[in-house]
C-alpha cells in the first residue's frame, strides 16, 4: 500500500484525525548488527508505525544490503516499507534493477533523493548514464512505472545544506529557489515530503506555510531526530548544517559529558517539539532512530501515541505489507509461533486466503530449506544456553517444555517469537502439568467466548468487537500415550484430533477436508472474520517442519556422539505430533482428557 494512502486514510477525519508516526533505519555494517537491527525493529513495529524506511547508504555503498533489508522489512517484519533510492554512482540500469527488485518484493514506496557525494568527494557529480538530481529520478519513476510507486522526496526547512552559507543561513533568494525546486519534484509526481532533521520548530512551521503559499498541497512530514549523545548530535547537525537554537545549546552544555542526561534531555526536547508540531494541526511524525529504540519510543510514549503495555493487533498474527498479500486474513494455526517460516513457505502463492480458507490442497507450500532453520545469532546463543544441557531420560526433555510454558525459559526451538503469547498465561499451569505427563506442547490457545476485541491478552481486530476461540493444544507424545488419549476422547464428543508421526502414519477423527475455524471475531459493520483454522492438509505439511526441528533445531546443537543427541533423535523417530481441539468453547475443558495420565 502506498504511504500517501495510509497517511490520508489515518488523518482524514480533520480535527479528530489520528496522529501517525514512522521510523527510519540505516543498514548496519556487520551481519550481527543487521540481526540486532531486526530484533529491535520487531519490537518497534509492534507499535504500528504507518511505515518504516531504510536508507540507501552514501554513494550507493549499501545498495545490495538495503534491498535485502527492505525485502525482509516488507515481507517478514510485516511493516509498510519505504526504500531510499539515490542517484549517486547509479546509472539508470542500476536504478531500474533496484526498482524492479522491490516491485517484485511487493514494495510500493520509494524516497527519491539525489544523494550525498561519494565518500572522499566534496561535490556531487552526475555519472555517465545516471541522473543529476532527485527531480530526474522522480520523473524517471513516473515515466517508467506509472503510478505503481508512491514517491516521497526530501524537504529542507532551512534550505538544502549546499546553499547554506558560512553564517548558517541561506539567502532569501537561495531559499526561494530551493522551495521552487521542491514544487517541481511534487509536480513531477512526488506525493509526500519528508523533511531534513531540524530543531527550530517555528522555522519548520514557516517552511510548511511557505510551501502552501506556492501551491504545494501534499503531506509534509517533519523529520525528528532525538538527541542520543552530544558528540553525535554535533557531528550530525554540522554535516547537515542544521541550525541549533541557543536554548538547546545552553541546555546541553552543562550535561554534554553525561550521556544518560543528554539522552533524557533529547527525549524531553523531542516530546516538546512534537507537541508544538501537533498543536499546529500536523498529524504526521517521522523519527530518525539511528537504529536505536528507546528515545524514539520514549517520545511517542510521552505524547500518548503508544502504550508499552497495550499493543493492538489487527489480526492474531501480523500480516505482511507485501502488495500481493494485503487481503490475506486466514492462516492455519500450526505456524502461529513460526510466522516467518509460514510466510517464506507460502511466498509463491498466486492468491492468499481471504474470508475463508478454501481448498488448501490447491496451494503448494514451498519445500523446507535451510532458511526455515536459521536463527539470529543472539537467539541461537540463548537457545544454546537454555536447551543444550545433558539429557539423561525423557523426563529431562519434558522438564524443558514445562519450564518454557511457565516462562522460566525465554526461548523454544519451535518458536521464532521473543516470548510466549500473552494468552498462554491463562493456561500455563495446565500446559506445565501435561508436559510433565509426557505431552510436549509447542502451540496452544485457551477458549474465549465473546471477549472484547481490545482485551490485551486475547483481543485483536477493530475496536467495539468481540472475539472467540476454541481451546487448542498441539504436542508431541509417544504412540502408547496417543493410543490411550484416543480411547479417552471417545468420552468427549467435542474433541477432534489429528495425529501423525514422522513417517506419515495418520490417526484422526476428522475428514481430510474438514477445515475447522478455531478463532473468529465479530466487529461493527464487518463480516465475521476467522483468521485461524485447523486444516488437515496443511497439518501434514507442517509436520515435516515440526519433526525436523527436533534434529536441526535442537539435537544438532550437541556433539555427534552425545547421548543427549541420540535421545532427541529417538523422540523424533518414535513420537507423534498431535493437534487437539475442544469445539465446545463455552462449557468445554480440553485439559480434562489428560487428568488420568
Fill in the DSSP letter of residue 552: I
Give the per-residue pLDDT at 14.
Answer: 57
What three-state secondary structure class fits 82?
A: strand
Q: Which pLDDT tens digit goes with each residue over 96-121?
A: 999 999 999 999 999 999 988 776 67
Kindly tell me if the per-residue pLDDT of 483 is higher than 60. Answer: yes
Give the per-residue pLDDT at 13.
Answer: 63
Give the per-residue pLDDT at 321.
Answer: 87
Q: Which pLDDT tens digit goes with each residue over 312-349?
A: 789 999 888 888 888 899 999 999 999 999 999 998 88
Read off the C-alpha cell for 350: 498466486
Report the 10 Å Cβ neighbour count for 573: 13
What confidence category does residue 207 fall into, taking pLDDT thresholds of 50, 70 and 90? Answer: very high
What confidence category does residue 89 fall into, taking pLDDT thresholds of 50, 70 and 90? Answer: confident
Distance set, CA 402 to CA 76, 430, 439 (Å): 29, 10, 10
| Residues assigned a catalytic role | 24
Kindly tell me if the per-residue pLDDT of 227 is higher than 70. Answer: yes
What confidence category does residue 355 fall into, taking pLDDT thresholds of 50, 70 and 90? Answer: confident
Dmax (CA) for the chain in angstroms is 87
Q: Phi and psi of 562, rounded to 5°?
A: -75, 135
3-state percent helix, strand, coil for the chain, nearest multiple of 5: 45, 15, 40
Give the per-residue pLDDT at 18.
Answer: 87
Give the per-residue pLDDT at 125.
Answer: 79
**Mean local confidence (pLDDT), 432-440:** 97
Amino acid at each position: 500500500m502506498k504511504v500517501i494512502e495510509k497517511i490520508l486514510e489515518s488523518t482524514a477525519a480533520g480535527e479528530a484525525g489520528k496522529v501517525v508516526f514512522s521510523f527510519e533505519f540505516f543498514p548496519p555494517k556487520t551481519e550481527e548488527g543487521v540481526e540486532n537491527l531486526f530484533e529491535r525493529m520487531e519490537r518497534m513495529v509492534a507499535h504500528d508505525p504507518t511505515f518504516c524506511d531504510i536508507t540507501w547508504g552514501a554513494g550507493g555503498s549499501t545498495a545490495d544490503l538495503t534491498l535485502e533489508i527492505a525485502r525482509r522489512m516488507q515481507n517478514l517484519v510485516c511493516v509498510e516499507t519505504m526504500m531510499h533510492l539515490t542517484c549517486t554512482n547509479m546509472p539508470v540500469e542500476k536504478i531500474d534493477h533496484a526498482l524492479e527488485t522491490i516491485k517484485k518484493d511487493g514494495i510500493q514506496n520509494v524516497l527519491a533523493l539525489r544523494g550525498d557525494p561519494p565518500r572522499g568527494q566534496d561535490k556531487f557529480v552526475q555519472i555517465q548514464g545516471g541522473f543529476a538530481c532527485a527531480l530526474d529520478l522522480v520523473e524517471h519513476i513516473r515515466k517508467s512505472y506509472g503510478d505503481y510507486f508512491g514517491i516521497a522526496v526530501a524537504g529542507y526547512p532551512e534550505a538544502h545544506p549546499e546553499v547554506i552559507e558560512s553564517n548558517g543561513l541561506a539567502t532569501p533568494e537561495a531559499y526561494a529557489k530551493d522551495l521552487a525546486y521542491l514544487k517541481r519534484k511534487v509536480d513531477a509526481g512526488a506525493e509526500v515530503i519528508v523533511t531534513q532533521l531540524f530543531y527550530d520548530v517555528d522555522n519548520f512551521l514557516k517552511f510548511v506555510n511557505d510551501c502552501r503559499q506556492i501551491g504545494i498541497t501534499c503531506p509534509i512530514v517533519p523529520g525528528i531526530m532525538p538527541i542520543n549523545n552530544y558528540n553525535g548530535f554535533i557531528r550530525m547537525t554540522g554535516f547537515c548544517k542544521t541550525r541549533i537554537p541557543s536554548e538547546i545549546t545552553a541546555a546541553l552544555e552543562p550535561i554534554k559529558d553525561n550521556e544518560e542526561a543528554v539522552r533524557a534531555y533529547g527525549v524531553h526536547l523531542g516530546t516538546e517539539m512534537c507537541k508544538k508540531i501537533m498543536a499546529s494541526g500536523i498529524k504526521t511524525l517521522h523519527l530518525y532512530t539511528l537504529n536505536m529504540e528507546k528515545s524514539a519510543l520514549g517520545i511517542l510514549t510521552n505524547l500518548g501515541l503508544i502504550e508499552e503495555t497495550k499493543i493492538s493487533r489487527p489480526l492474531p498474527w501480523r500480516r505482511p505489507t507485501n502488495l500481493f498479500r494485503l487481503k490475506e486474513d486466514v492462516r492455519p494455526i500450526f505456524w502461529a509461533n513460526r510466522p516467518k517460516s509460514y510466510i517464506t513457505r507460502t511466498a509463491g502463492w498466486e492468491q492468499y486466503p481471504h474470508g475463508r480458507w478454501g481448498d488448501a490442497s490447491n496451494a503448494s507450500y514451498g519445500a523446507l530449506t535451510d532458511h526455515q532453520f536459521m536463527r539470529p545469532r543472539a537467539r541461537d546463543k540463548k537457545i544454546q544456553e537454555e536447551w543444550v544441557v545433558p539429557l539423561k531420560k525423557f523426563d529431562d526433555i519434558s522438564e524443558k517444555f514445562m519450564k518454557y510454558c511457565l516462562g522460566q525459559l525465554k526461548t523454544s526451538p519451535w518458536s521464532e517469537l521473543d516470548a510466549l503469547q500473552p494468552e498462554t498465561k491463562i493456561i500455563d499451569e495446565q500446559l506445565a502439568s501435561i508436559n510433565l505427563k509426557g505431552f510436549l506442547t509447542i502451540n496452544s490457545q485457551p477458549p474465549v467466548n465473546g471477549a472484547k476485541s481490545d482485551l490485551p491478552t486475547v483481543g485483536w481486530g477493530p475496536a467495539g468487537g468481540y472475539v472467540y476461540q476454541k481451546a487448542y493444544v498441539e504436542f508431541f507424545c509417544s504412540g502408547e500415550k496417543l493410543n490411550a488419549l484416543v480411547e479417552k476422547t471417545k468420552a468427549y464428543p467435542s474433541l477432534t484430533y489429528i495425529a501423525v508421526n514422522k513417517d506419515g502414519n495418520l490417526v484422526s477423527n476428522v475428514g481430510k477436508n474438514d477445515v475447522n475455524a478455531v478463532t473468529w471475531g465479530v466487529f461493527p459493520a464487518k463480516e465475521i472474520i476467522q483468521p485461524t483454522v485447523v486444516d488437515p492438509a496443511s497439518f501434514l505439511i507442517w509436520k515435516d517442519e515440526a519433526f525436523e526441528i527436533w534434529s536441526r533445531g535442537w539435537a544438532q546443537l550437541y556433539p555427534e556422539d552425545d547421548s543427549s543427541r541420540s535421545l532427541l533423535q529417538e523422540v523424533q523417530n518414535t513420537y507423534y505430533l498431535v493437534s487437539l481441539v475442544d469445539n465446545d468453547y463455552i462449557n468445554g475443558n480440553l485439559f480434562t482428557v489428560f487428568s488420568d495420565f
